Structure 1
Amino acid sequence: MSSPEWCLVETFGLKPPTLIGLGSRPRNMVPLEKFFARNRASLAAAQTAIGQVAATGEPYDVTAAGGRRCLAHPLRAYDGRVNGAWLWLGGPNVSEPPSHDLAGAWYFNLTTFEVAGSDELLDLYHQPKDERRTKRAMGEAFTRLAAGPDASEALAKIVQSQPGSEHQAIWTVVCDDGDRRAAHFSCRAILHEPSDGPQIVMHGITHDIGPADDVPQAPQLAVLERRVLDAAVRPGTHRAIVDVRSGHIIQWVDLPPTVIDWAVPGVDIFHPDDASRVQGLNRLVDGAATATIRLRGTDAPWLPVKVTSQPMLLDNATTAALWTIDLGQGTD
């Protein structure tokens, strides 16, 4: 008898847990009540297991009367929150589960622009253990991803920072060793209110569904706004998509400059005395604007560079700033 498949279940919050993967096949946030509609006993077992894992963060392993075994393996990001779990419900004659895919938990703090994953996510990225960090700047999170045609929609949801917003898509992960994997990700934004003030956090899970070349939906090229892809890259310049409210980098369009210390999580890339200049750059009322601002340097505390900012429409209601950073220009 073949073994039942593993279910990948999200526990992001705001809604009851839903199914986002069955084996290696993505699912569109299917309510557990719908998925187990014909088997109330399995539904009860699944709800108990997922509830226990979400509450404790510990694995769940129970064999019920009749020999039916229920397993749940938590998926936690580095903040300790359980974003979901692998769930397996064995039949009466099947007590040992097969192996399951790699899947990793992560979060994007849309208030502080810090991001973090989990050990499983970094295993999925094939990242060496001695290079791992618990927190990163948001711009670094996209350096391994080849986004699909929904990229503008995904970035718009980051900029809007609306609690309850969700996204699912298949993107390509370019692993640290060059391997290319198709990854299905699911996420939902949640409002948290810690003692230091409210924060909106996008909680997510990335599911490795196979080699990118074997998955037709896996994109080969990041598709953002057409003019970004078609624009000629000038030597000495680097382009980044920037949040107009905070000046934080959301994503690099080109390879990030090595002379700029841009990857410190939760820290402004620009000099605090240049905040008004950044606000002027990102006002975007008259089209492109240019100013010299000081950015954190890797070899010097502050590096003056020329920045040209222009509006970048992510969707019909959401605008980001497209910065072109000219490393060869340091004066107005």
Structure 2
Amino acid sequence: MATDWLLIETFGGHRREPTVIAVGSSPRNMVPIRSILGRGPFFADVLALIARVIESGNSEEVATITGKRRVIGHPVKTYGDRVHGVYAWVGRLNDEPPRRNPAGAWHINITRHISSRSDDLLRLYGTEAGNWRNEHDLAELFAYGRLQTNSDESKALAMLVNATAGAEHQATWTVKRDDGVRRAAHFACRCVEVPTVEGGTELIVRGITHDIGLSESVPTAPPSAPVLLAQQVVAAEATPGRWRAIVDLRTMRLLRWLDDPLPGIAWKLDTPHRPGIHRQDLRTAVGMSNALAACGRARGSLRLRAENGEWIRVHATAALMLLDQHTTAALVTLTMPNGDKVD
């Protein structure tokens, strides 16, 4: 009898053996493959198939040792062609496997603040091929209302701020596709250290997002009303002329906009000018960070890089916010009283 597809992560890192993150459309908590297949004769066949798919980067099919079943594997590859996971199915020789739920691989380079999406993930998002962009600034993960997060969003942000090799996270969020359809998407990820050609290391979060059905039919999917990040955000509702953002205190980098992005600011990866704070204002930014640590609030005037290469002066009001009991960030409100650009 044919089984459901197993979706198996191959992120690597501190786990040496791949684990199951879904059986059919039912998520699993990175459980050992043996706990799904039991002590039956197919465990070794599936492990061997996974190794072949990882090595070849292609779909593979083999007969089991008993010769009475076949094992099929399809890679889940990220942008850059690395295998992040494998769909695996075991069935009788004449059985046809069931339909696979869409899944797409992604990774976030914490060190370089860049997120990458595979073509499969963009298909899952319903993005037209002509609009595909595989690499983004990390802050674009949460932009434009595509992801409706659950109450664990602060935990996910804390993982990005306080990234350590071996850290893992799983959740079911809602994806609002480009065609307006809302899908429940389960994702699993792990942070790993990756050596660079220069001899250093980079922290990479490797992940897979798995479409598990219409959001209305999945009880764990977030409702259409947005789930607020933390209670301290509730009182600071969006106001015209004010733009709110969450900023990593250690790197001064943008983690996400809570509202629409501030117009004209260079914050995306594909802007022609590198985002940043004017070097003459870096001391002000550091002073604000120190004030946040001391008393939980800070104010200052900064110049931010504009999309056209000039500088935009903004007034920043920052409040300390907890992402988890060990990780803090800055909730920053920006205003432009005069709207003037400054050289």
TM-score tier by shorter-chain length is over 0.9
Deviations 1:110-163 (A, max 9, x none): 111100010110001111111112210111111221111111111111111111
State the 1:280 CA deviation: 2.5
Q: 2:310 corresponds to which letter in structure 1?
A: P
**Partner of residue 227 from structure 2, selected from 222, 227, 232:** 222
Task: List gaps (5 residues or longer) in structure 2.
Answer: none
Q: 2:227 corresponds to which letter in structure 1?
A: A
The 3 A distance-change label for structure 1 pair 183 and 189 is same
The 3 A distance-change label for structure 1 pair 183 and 165 is same
Say whether the 8 Å CA contact 1:248–1:268 is kept in structure 2.
no
What SS class does the counterpart of residue 228 from structure 1 fall into? Answer: helix
In 1, Cα distance between the equivalents of 2:282 and 2:112?
16
Q: 2:208 corresponds to which letter in structure 1?
A: I
In 2, Cα distance between the equivalents of 1:231 and 1:63?
60
State the 1:67 CA deviation: 4.5
Equivalence for 1:57: 57
Q: Does 1:233 align with 2:241?
A: no
State the 1:329 CA deviation: 5.1
Equivalence map 1:144-293=2 (5 Å): 144-196=146-198, 197-220=200-223, 221-264=226-269, 267-283=274-290, 284-285=292-293, 286-293=295-302
The 3 A distance-change label for structure 1 pair 247 and 265 is farther
Equivalence for 1:34: 35
Q: 1:275 corresponds to which letter in structure 2?
A: L
Q: 1:271 corresponds to which letter in structure 2?
A: H
Deviations 1:86-126 (A, max 9, x none): 111112441x2122011000011111110001011000111
Deviations 1:254-283 (A, max 9, x none): 121232121117954333443333322333
State the 1:23 CA deviation: 0.6
In 1, Cα distance between the equivalents of 2:240 and 2:298?
20
Q: Does 1:317 align with 2:326?
A: yes
State the 1:223 CA deviation: 2.9
Deviations 1:141-197 (A, max 9, x none): 112211111111111111111110000110111112221111000000001120343
Equivalence map 1:93-132=2 (5 Å): 93-94=94-95, 96-132=96-132
Q: 1:104 corresponds to which letter in structure 2?
A: G
User: Which range moved further: 14-23 or 249-258?
Assistant: 249-258
Q: Does 1:298 align with 2:307?
A: yes
TM-score with structure 1 length normalisation?
Answer: 0.93
Say whether the 8 Å CA contact 1:292–1:330 is kept in structure 2.
no
State the 1:226 CA deviation: 0.8
Q: 2:85 corresponds to which letter in structure 1?
A: G
Task: List gaps (5 residues or longer) in structure 1.
Answer: none
Alpha carbon RMSD of aligned pairs, Å?
2.0
Say whether the 8 Å CA contact 2:119–2:134 is kept in structure 1.
no
State the 1:299 CA deviation: 4.5
In 2, Cα distance between the equivalents of 1:209 and 1:158?
25
- Following TM superposition, the consecutive aligned residue runs of length 4 or more in structure 1 with deviations greater than 4 angstroms are none
User: Which range moved further: 102-111 or 217-226?
Assistant: 217-226
The 3 A distance-change label for structure 1 pair 61 and 276 is farther
Say whether the 8 Å CA contact 1:189–1:201 is kept in structure 2.
yes
What SS class does the counterpart of residue 33 from structure 1 fall into? Answer: helix
User: Which range moved further: 234-243 or 265-274?
Assistant: 265-274
Give identity over the alignment, percent: 40
Q: 2:298 corresponds to which letter in structure 1?
A: A
TM-score with structure 2 length normalisation?
Answer: 0.90
Q: Does 1:10 align with 2:26?
A: no
What SS class does the counterpart of residue 111 from structure 1 fall into? Answer: coil
Q: 1:167 corresponds to which letter in structure 2?
A: H
